Amino acid sequence: MTNKIHILGICGTFMGGIAQLAKESGVTVTGSDQNVYPPMSTLLESKGIAIQKGFKPQYLSAPLFNEEKDTVVVGNVMTRGMDVVESMLNKSLSYTSGPQWLYENILKDRWVLAVSGTHGKTTTASILAWILEYAGLNPGFLIGGIPQNFGVSARLGDSPFFVVEADEYDTAFFDKRSKFVHYHPRTLILNNLEYDHADIFPDLEAIKIQFHHLMRMLPEEGLAVTNADEQDLQDVLDRGCWTPVEYFSGKSSNNNQSSSGWQCDYLEADGSKFEVYFDGELQGTVHWALLGQHNVSNALAAISAARHAGVPVKHAIAALSTFKGIKRRMELRGEVDGVRVYDDFAHHPTAIETTLKGLRKNVGNQKIIAILEPRSNTMRLGVHKDALASALQLADQVILYQSPDLDWDLHDVLNTLGDKASIHQDINALVNNVASKAQSSDQILVMSNGGFAGIHDKLIKGLKEKGNAH
């Protein structure tokens, strides 16, 4: 392990996690990024990690950087043509990608439990890490969010077990394979598979190829935990699978012909209470804080993976009752005079629809106001625009934010949704409109995979000012 690394793109969730793990391993860490802002910037600074703003070639020169001994860890935000990248290559500096550094320095001698799929990676990885922690196994982890039970997105741990969120996005400008092929998992969760990352992959077939490469690396003594309700995942397995498979399904076993694998029966329609079955036999009952069929699926996958690592099912079920959720995953940011404001990371039509389904089953006929910022690369390109209106149907009111960098016109969605939808181009005007009209028991669901200009705090402030005015 090198004594010092400089991370290009350090404030991204993944690279920030790499920085924390490296620092905890005794490595001197510096980094730079174009966008240096909380919470990642303050978290890294609290760990004693120096951050420079911008991508300047001089950051990779003395006295900040020893060109003969230090290593550059290159985030996938970096591209050819950037001055710092060209300087790094011209000077023949030692460099690697984040996923490669992670494998060589952290994962190589660990039992890696990887969580892959289009949706639910962060939640499932957080649940799995917490089950292992609850069982006393003190796992390491690197997760693309902050589990409330831990308060950090990454840690080394002191056991053989390491949980990693296994992203299919590409690795670096010099390595176009998916990140997850670097992780060499022993236990692999395959949550679901849909077309996403349109800036990287031309079609779903290209993503399936990357998942097939991942399956080729899974050992014969490992385990693939796979969603039985996803035909596209089965297509991947049919291309080649040399590892035992356990299937799970978030559909009620009452409606499922098969009794094999991990299944559930809903005791509460919103998924807050359900029975767990394995091969048709009742294992126990989960009563927890999360909502929705998608989260029940996530829980079943995590129970299966934890069992492979030696955690008895009854301990996993007990752990779920104390799981607190993840920041930005249906996170309740505040309640003012009976109006609740939620923050959710949903940025794909399927995730939007499943989130709304879970909330609808929980709140019944109470009004749901959905505020959406289409912000991911795929969303900005308009790849999923035809599916958005259908995904938002369960909301009583839909507010769409048309940002300046959106490549398509949201009026197509507006026309389909009719009178219950509106478009805003000014966030402050949006906040004033919602806060002034919200009534007690209304549920405001904000969906974006970015900061959305701090709209959650603005909404809460607006609601409080409205209450004070009365």
Residues 305 and 410 in one domain: no
> Any idea what DSSP says for residue 140?
E
Residues 366 and 254 in one domain: no
Question: What's the pLDDT score for residue 382?
Answer: 61
Residues 187 and 300 in one domain: yes
How many distinct structural domains can be found in the chain?
Answer: 3
Quick check: is 103 in a domain?
A: no
The one-letter amino acid code at 139 reads: P
Residues 282 and 134 in one domain: yes
Residues 41 and 158 in one domain: no
Confidence of residue 288 (pLDDT cuts 50, 70, 90): very high
| pLDDT at 319 exceeding the cut of 70 | yes
Quick check: is 326 in a domain?
A: no
- Domain CATH code at residue 356: 3.90.190.20
Question: What's the pLDDT score for residue 36?
Answer: 74
Question: What's the pLDDT score for residue 45?
Answer: 87
| pLDDT at 410 exceeding the cut of 80 | no
Question: What's the pLDDT score for residue 300?
Answer: 97
Picking from 123, 153, 158, 48, the residue whose alpha carbon sits closest to that of residue 330 is 123
Residues 452 and 407 in one domain: yes
- Domain CATH code at residue 79: 3.40.50.720
**For residues 80-88, average pLDDT:** 97
| pLDDT at 385 exceeding the cut of 80 | no
**For residues 320-327, average pLDDT:** 84
Question: What's the pLDDT score for residue 263?
Answer: 96
Residue with tokens 């996803």: 230
Residues 71 and 117 in one domain: no
> Any idea what DSSP says for residue 317?
H
| pLDDT at 187 exceeding the cut of 60 | yes
Confidence of residue 120 (pLDDT cuts 50, 70, 90): confident
DSSP run (H or E) holding 332: strand 331-336
Helices (H), 174-271: 204-216, 231-238
Residue 316's domain comprises 109-320
**For residues 105-118, average pLDDT:** 96
- Residue 34 contacts residue 54 (beta carbons within 8 Å): yes
Single residue among 44, 69, 98 that ends a domain in this structure: 98
Single residue among 301, 320, 339 that ends a domain in this structure: 320
Residues 282 and 214 in one domain: yes
Question: What's the pLDDT score for residue 255?
Answer: 60
Question: What's the pLDDT score for residue 380?
Answer: 64
User: Could you tell me the two tokens for 388?
Assistant: 């958005």
Long-range contacts of 242-251 (CB under 8 A, 24+ apart): 242/215, 242/216, 242/218, 243/188, 243/215, 243/218, 243/219, 246/304, 246/308, 248/297, 248/300, 248/301, 248/304, 249/297, 249/300, 250/293, 250/294, 250/296, 250/297, 250/300, 251/293
Quick check: is 133 in a domain?
A: yes
Question: What's the pLDDT score for residue 92?
Answer: 97
Residues 92 and 124 in one domain: no
pLDDT tens readout for residues 124-158: 999 999 999 999 999 999 998 888 889 888 999 99
> Any idea what DSSP says for residue 147?
B
| pLDDT at 461 exceeding the cut of 60 | yes
Quick check: is 325 in a domain?
A: no
Residues 281 and 338 in one domain: no
Picking from 254, 252, 197, 245, the residue whose alpha carbon sits closest to that of residue 218 is 245
DSSP run (H or E) holding 98: helix 98-102
Confidence of residue 231 (pLDDT cuts 50, 70, 90): very high
3-state secondary structure 349-413: HHHHHHHHHHHHHHHCCCCEEEEECCCCHHHHHCCCHHHHHHHCCCCCEEEEECCCCCCCCCHHH
Phi, psi of 299, rounded to the nearest 5 degrees: -65, -45
User: Could you tell me the two tokens for 340?
Assistant: 């609740």
Look at 418 and 123; give whichever has higher pLDDT.
123
Single residue among 45, 65, 98 that ends a domain in this structure: 98
pTM: predicted TM-score of the whole model, two decimal places: 0.79
Quick check: is 70 in a domain?
A: yes
Residues 205 and 143 in one domain: yes
Confidence of residue 435 (pLDDT cuts 50, 70, 90): confident
Confidence of residue 256 (pLDDT cuts 50, 70, 90): low
Residues 119 and 94 in one domain: no
Quick check: is 119 in a domain?
A: yes
**For residues 164-186, average pLDDT:** 95
